[in-house]
Amino acid sequence: MWRKVLWVAMPLALASLAFTVYRCIPFTEEDLSSEERLWALYEQWRSHHTVSRDLDEKLRRFNVFKQNMKFIDEFNKKDEPYKLKLNGFADLTNQEFLDLYAGSKIEHHRIHRGEKPEGEFKHGHIDIYKLPASVDWRTQGAVTPVKDQRQCVAAVEGINQIVTRELISLSEQELVDCDTGNMGCNGGWMDKAFRFIKNAGGITTEDTYPYTAQQGPSCNASQPVVTIDGYEDVPSNNETALQQAVANQPVSVAIDASGRDFQFYSEGVFTGSCGTSSNHAVAVVGYGETKDGTKYWIVKNSWGTNWGEQGYIRMERGTPKKEGTCGIAMSPSYPIKTSPNPSNESAKDEL
Ligand SMILES: *[C@@H]1O[C@H](CO)[C@@H](O)[C@H](O)[C@H]1NC(C)=O
Ligand SMILES: *[C@@H]1O[C@H](CO)[C@@H](O)[C@H](O)[C@H]1NC(C)=O
Ligand SMILES: *[C@@H]1O[C@H](CO)[C@@H](O)[C@H](O)[C@H]1NC(C)=O
């Protein structure tokens, strides 16, 4: 009997900033064969839900769940370089998923990037023939654990660790509450978030200003802990330029995360087709190549650790499409840090 384990999870709330908690429930091919078994599995999946729904809604959800499960099962029978799993988005239609999790509507680069950042592309001076074959900032201690929240701060956490050697988890909520009109990357640009952090004189820690999954009543401006001095854009649609940047620091990118394959991505190098309507902010924290020669970007997502590869996705690198997989090369940018953080005297000495 072919047996597999799928990750089954529960959306905590269908609010616009909802995030998920996961459980692993094993299921067999037989479960897919009968309505009763499917229903039992759905009940098991649902038992972790905190959202109660009426019977009509429950039936509707069951049908979505069933369709998703069959979609995943069919997909995984194919010989694709990546696999899908039944995760926390299992009873959401792709449209609902898009609205909730890929709804940033960061529109095309040329329309919205607009203002030219202060700096040029400084990493562009690096000899492309001397770039390392692989880079993984996680192994350098420059990446915080995967969060269960929208975030734009990963690249700032990265450059701060690279410059000060201190890994500090930063507050996305401060951006959500205080960078109004940008909602902490939701509906805006990473560039705008960097500009906000620079102009606000820094950003505080996650501990000081924790995530609340909704826009707070007001901005509770807190003591800035980590500062940046500006940001730069990586030239668009050039994966070599992106590689130069990522070799030096984690880089913010906007991707199209709306596809059904993306919704249920489990593992492997994602080669799926998706559009280029940037709608989700993530961070490229490295790159590499598989044994069989498939090149990929290591991308940190913010949908919890049970989505994808412990919260990460490897996305194909060097495709013939100049905008890259899911538009990953369309609008990368990264923060610049040359000044020490405000309150730490010992760090000042080191810089
Ligand atoms: C604002 O932040 C401070 C800590 O920086 C905290 O003590 C206070 O309770 C917060 N106020 C509100 C209204 O959240
Ligand atoms: C892409 O970026 C590389 C490295 O910065 C540069 O040498 C090359 O000219 C760029 N290609 C295009 C088409 O702009
Ligand atoms: C200050 O910086 C030093 C060196 O970068 C670090 O070891 C130390 O933990 C920091 N202290 C605080 C209070 O952040």
Give the residue, by CA position, lying nearest to ligand 1 atom 9: 220
Q: Tell me, in angstroms, the distance from the centre of ligand 3 to residue 139's CA.
A: 20
**Cα–Cα nearest to 109, from 226, 236, 200, 23:** 236
Helix intervals (H) in the chain:
35-46, 55-77, 94-101, 109-112, 154-164, 172-178, 190-199, 239-246, 260-263, 345-350
261-264, long-range: CB < 8 A, 24+ apart? 261/75, 261/82, 261/84, 262/102, 262/313, 262/326, 263/89, 263/92, 263/94, 263/97, 264/68, 264/71, 264/72, 264/75, 264/84, 264/85, 264/86, 264/87, 264/89, 264/90
C-alpha span between 63 and 73 (Å, rounded): 15
CB-based contact 299:315 (threshold 8 Å): yes
CA distance 92 to 16: 13
Q: Whose CA is nearest to atom 4 of ligand 1?
A: 208
What separation in Å is there between the alpha carbon of 175 and the centre of ligand 1?
15
How far away, in angstroms, is 319 Cα from ligand 2 center? 15
Single-letter amino acid, residue 163: V
As averages over each run of 10 residues, the pLDDT of the chain (351 residues) reads 32 31 57 86 75 78 93 94 92 89 57 61 95 98 88 92 96 87 66 91 94 82 92 94 98 92 96 86 96 97 92 97 94 94 66 57
Ligand closest to the CA atom of residue 124: 2
Q: Within a 13 Å sphere around the CA of 272, how many CA atoms are in the beta-carbon half? A: 25
CA atoms within 13 A on the CB side of 224: 16
pLDDT at 15: 31
Mutate to test the pocket of ligand 3, among 344, 348, 349, 350 (most ligand atoms within 8 A of CB): 344
Please give the pLDDT value at position 165. 95
| Protein residue whose Cα sits closest to atom 12 of ligand 3 | 344
Q: Tell me the pTM.
A: 0.86
Whole-number pLDDT of residue 102: 80
Provide the pLDDT for residue 101. Answer: 83
The answer, yes or no, to whether any atom of ligand 2 lies below 6 A from the CB of 128, is: yes
Atom of ligand 3 nearest to the CA of 168: 14
d(CA 340, CA 351): 7
Question: Given the CA of residue 165, which atom of ligand 3 is nearest to it?
Answer: 5
pLDDT (0 to 100) of residue 7: 31
Are the C-beta atoms of 191 and 333 separated by less than 8 Å? yes
Q: Give the number of whichever ligand sits closest to the CA of residue 216.
A: 1
Q: Give distance in angstroms: CA of 163 to centre of ligand 3.
A: 12
Q: With beta carbons less than 8 A apart as the criterion, state whether 226 and 170 touch.
A: yes
